[in-house]
Amino acid sequence: MRIDAVELRQVRMPLKSPFRTSFGSEYDRSILLLAVHSGGAVGWGECVAMSDPLYSSEYRDAATDVLLRFLLPALADRELRATDVGPLLERFRGHRMAKAAIEAAVLDAELQLRGESLAGYLGATTDRVAAGVSVGIADSIPALLQEVGGYLDSGYRRIKLKIQPGWDVEPVAAVRREFGAELPLQVDANTAYRLSDARQLARLDEFDLLLIEQPLPEEDLLGHARLAEQISTPVCLDESITSAESVAQAITLGACEVVNIKPGRVGGYLEARRIHDVASAHGLPVWCGGMLETGIGRAANLALAALPGFVLPGDTSASDRYYAEDLTEPFVLEDGYVRVPTGPGIGVAPDPDRLSARTESVQTFTPGS
């Protein structure tokens, strides 16, 4: 294929309710959507960078800038396959979320032109994925229990509680007491602790959690390895894992016992699959993370989460976990599972009216101009 043009759309999606994590509260989701036009096909990619650099150093407007200034020009005016995107962009440091978005859009276009689904291309072995849900820090324990109860009534098969110092043992104990020992339960700290908090985190041991996600800073692999020796809850890395190489190092160091795979964080679906392969070869379970994606990113994540190493439920929730109205046909829970799209490419496209209603601005990149 060849890139004829790329639309970069700034989109704002109101959240049904604020989402609070250890790094702050979000009231709506700012998104960069890419549409790659190629030979009559339109491929879509969703950039998961937030509006502010709070989860990672990337943010939406930086992604837009680096795409327009460096990444798209490096892909223009040539025959291109999705597998070329990573190598062609490798000399530009970092900006993995921006790179992932353009690779995803090229992949969608290429697979549409070939009539092949992303799930089939990646090597999916199932047509539905068990859905977990990420639950933000609540105003009170009763409010948390009510929210968790609602998700369980909807059918979610795993609960993830966001934690931070001052909101950890108490909410976990309350959820265990209310919903029982059999509930698949895990926690995510988004880097809010230090190794000196190991004794506090060891208090979570008795609750038989599936895992604790990213307790320590992104750069602190050694700290995670030390922590893993001091607690029985398996240590799962999110922010720290940026590539197949980094996951191999983390595993070797004993810093990572479970892997959260987010395609945006690692530079794309192809690198995400390599991480899946490395982790699986080491016998580690992996699961698919989430970044409050619209149906565009959600569809592609479901294709990835259908690979055989994704043995834990992901943050691959239904559309209505976050949005009253999605940009695509909504993804829905069916008996606690979400269906993997089967159409060509990612198998979905935004509804034009809903997309224009949510679009704040559009920039167009055209090769050779």
Please choose which of ligand NPQ, Mg ion, none residue 156 contacts, taking the beta carbon within 5 to 8 angstroms, the exact cut-off set by kind: none
Collapsed DSSP state (helix, strand, coil) of residue 9: strand
Query: What amino acid positions are annotated as catalytic residues?
Result: 162, 262
CA distance 81 to 67: 18
Task: List b or e across 177-198, with b for residues whose CB sees 16 or more CB atoms inside 10 angstroms.
Answer: ebeeeeebbbbbbbbbbebebb
Contact 248, 102 (CB under 8 A): no
CA distance 41 to 158: 37
Residue 186, interface with ligand NPQ (CB under 6 A)?
no
In the region spanning residues 110 to 169, those forming contacts with ligand NPQ, defined by CB under 6 A, are 134
- Minimal distance, residue 77 CB to ligand NPQ, in Å: 34
Single-letter amino acid code for the residue at 79? E
Residue 188, interface with Mg ion (CB under 5 A)?
yes
Could you tell me the CA-to-CA distances from 282 to 230, 250, 263, 286 in Å, in that order? 22, 11, 20, 11
Collapsed DSSP state (helix, strand, coil) of residue 162: strand
Phi, psi dihedrals of residue 326, rounded to the nearest 5°: -85, 170
Residue 293, interface with Mg ion (CB under 5 A)?
no
- Minimal distance, residue 49 CB to ligand NPQ, in Å: 9
Contact 93, 84 (CB under 8 A): no
Residue 21, interface with ligand NPQ (CB under 6 A)?
yes
| Partners of 345 in the β-ladder | 117
289 or 345: CB nearest ligand NPQ:
289
Q: Which stretch binds ligand NPQ (CB under 6 A): 18-26, 39-47, 198-206, 298-306?
A: 18-26
| β-pair type (337-339, 128-130) | antiparallel
| Partners of 13 in the β-ladder | 29
Please choose which of Mg ion, ligand NPQ, none residue 26 contacts, taking the beta carbon within 5 to 8 angstroms, the exact cut-off set by kind: ligand NPQ
- Minimal distance, residue 2 CB to ligand NPQ, in Å: 33
Contact 274, 244 (CB under 8 A): yes
- Minimal distance, residue 315 CB to ligand NPQ, in Å: 4
Please choose which of ligand NPQ, Mg ion, none residue 290 contacts, taking the beta carbon within 5 to 8 angstroms, the exact cut-off set by kind: ligand NPQ
- Identified binder of ligand NPQ from the candidate list 267, 289, 297, 314, rule CB under 6 A: 289
Q: Per-residue string for binding with ligand NPQ, 256-275, x by CB under 6 A?
A: --------------------
In the region spanning residues 311 to 340, those forming contacts with ligand NPQ, defined by CB under 6 A, are 315
Residue 103, interface with Mg ion (CB under 5 A)?
no
CA distance 189 to 213: 6
Please give the size of the binding site for ligand NPQ, defined by CB under 6 A.
15
102 or 241: CB nearest ligand NPQ:
241
188 or 326: CB nearest ligand NPQ:
188
In the region spanning residues 230 to 249, those forming contacts with Mg ion, defined by CB under 5 A, are 238
Residue 55, interface with ligand NPQ (CB under 6 A)?
yes
CA distance 347 to 26: 29
CA distance 55 to 52: 8
Q: Which parts of this chain interact with ligand NPQ (CB under 6 A)?
A: 19, 21, 26, 29, 50, 55, 134, 188, 190, 238, 289-292, 315
* Chain residues that interact with Mg ion, rule: CB under 5 A: 188, 213, 238
